[in-house]
């Protein structure tokens, strides 16, 4: 695992954007794994600047989001489908027809999850998977005790995750209780992984992922199993390494 420590969030965003740009330079029809949450927003902002400046073209790229809340109204601004549209597809000039988010409103969630994994495989697999990390070590919504072999599936959100994400909702009670998330096994099949984290609040999770034992109690420690995994953090998030 490659660990890169940078002074602050801006440098993390720039390096993340460089990695995305490098993958797309090799293959303009690359498949990107898209993360939501605050961690990758610096990468998306930097990519959007390059697209606006005409130095980067992402219109041929495909994208698969990591996860989605179950049962959240389609028009809710915090559904990951809405977040991906607003923060990624629009600003980065992606083709909406090439970007998918798990269907958290499907009548048959298990079937939707299975179909999502099949769609990733049919697209040729993910070239570069962007990841944030939860304070409890989750990636996507793979909460502690997730199997390293897991596929896209329904998960119950951990109480800590619901508390962490309450800031995006009008009240804690409004945070959904379940999600669809790519599994750890699904994520590990991406050809390259890039996990980004900023701020001291992530320092314990980053230390457990990078230096702790391989453990389902820290799902992000699964990155230790991957041949091309990079962890790019600012100094605050690296403070317990
Ligand atoms: C969220 C998402 C994850 C994200 C993580 C950290 O709930 N499901 O994909 O990486 O939790 O979020 P943030 O980047 O906002 O700290």
Report the CATH number at residue 63: 3.40.50.1360
Instruction: Quote the domain boundaries for residue 167.
Output: 2-234
Judge whether residue 74 has pLDDT over 80.
no
ipTM reported for the complex, 2 dp: 0.94
> Does residue 18 have an active-site annotation?
no
Tens digits of residue pLDDT in 152-190:
999 999 999 999 999 999 999 999 999 999 999 999 999
In a domain, 241, yes or no: no
In a domain, 28, yes or no: yes
How many structural domains comprise the chain?
1
In a domain, 75, yes or no: yes
In a domain, 239, yes or no: no
Cα separation of 129 and 195, whole Å?
8
Query: Which residues lie below 8 Å from residue 67, measured CB to CB, with a gap of 6+?
Result: 36, 80, 102, 140, 141, 179, 180, 181, 182
* Assessment of whether the complete model's pTM goes beyond 0.90: yes
In a domain, 59, yes or no: yes
Give the Å distance between the CA of 21 and the centre of ligand 1. 23
In a domain, 208, yes or no: yes
In a domain, 176, yes or no: yes
Pocket lining: 67 vs ligand 1, CB cutoff 6 Å? yes
In a domain, 17, yes or no: yes
Pocket lining: 132 vs ligand 1, CB cutoff 6 Å? yes
> Does residue 143 have an active-site annotation?
yes
* Atom number in ligand 1 closest to CA 165: 7
* Atom number in ligand 1 closest to CA 35: 9
Phi, psi of 105 (to 5 degrees): -115, 10
């Amino acid at each position: 695992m490659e660990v890169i420590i940078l002074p602050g969030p801006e440098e993390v965003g720039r390096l993340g954007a460089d990695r995305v740009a490098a993958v797309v330079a090799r293959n303009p029809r690359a498949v990107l794994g898209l993360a939501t949450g605050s961690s990758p927003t610096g990468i998306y902002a930097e990519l959007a600047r390059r697209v606006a400046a005409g130095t980067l073209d992402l219109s041929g790229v495909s994208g698969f989001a990591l996860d989605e809340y179950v049962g959240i109204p389609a028009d809710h601004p915090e559904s990951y489908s809405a977040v991906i549209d607003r923060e990624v597809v629009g600003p980065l000039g992606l083709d909406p027809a090439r970007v998918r988010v798990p269907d958290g409103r499907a009548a048959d969630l298990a079937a939707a999850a299975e179909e999502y994994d099949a769609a990733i495989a049919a697209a040729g697999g993910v070239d570069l998977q962007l990841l944030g990390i939860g304070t409890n070590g989750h990636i996507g919504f793979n909460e502690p005790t997730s199997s390293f072999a897991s596929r896209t599936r329904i998960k119950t959100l951990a109480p800590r995750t619901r508390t962490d994400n309450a800031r995006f909702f009008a009240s804690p009670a409004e945070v959904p209780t379940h999600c669809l998330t790519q599994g750890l096994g699904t994520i590990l099949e991406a050809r390259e992984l890039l996990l980004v984290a900023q701020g001291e609040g992530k320092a314990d999770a980053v230390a457990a992922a990078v230096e702790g034992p391989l453990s389902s109690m820290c799902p992000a420690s699964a990155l230790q199993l991957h041949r091309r995994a990079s962890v790019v953090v600012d100094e605050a998030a690296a403070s317990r390494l």
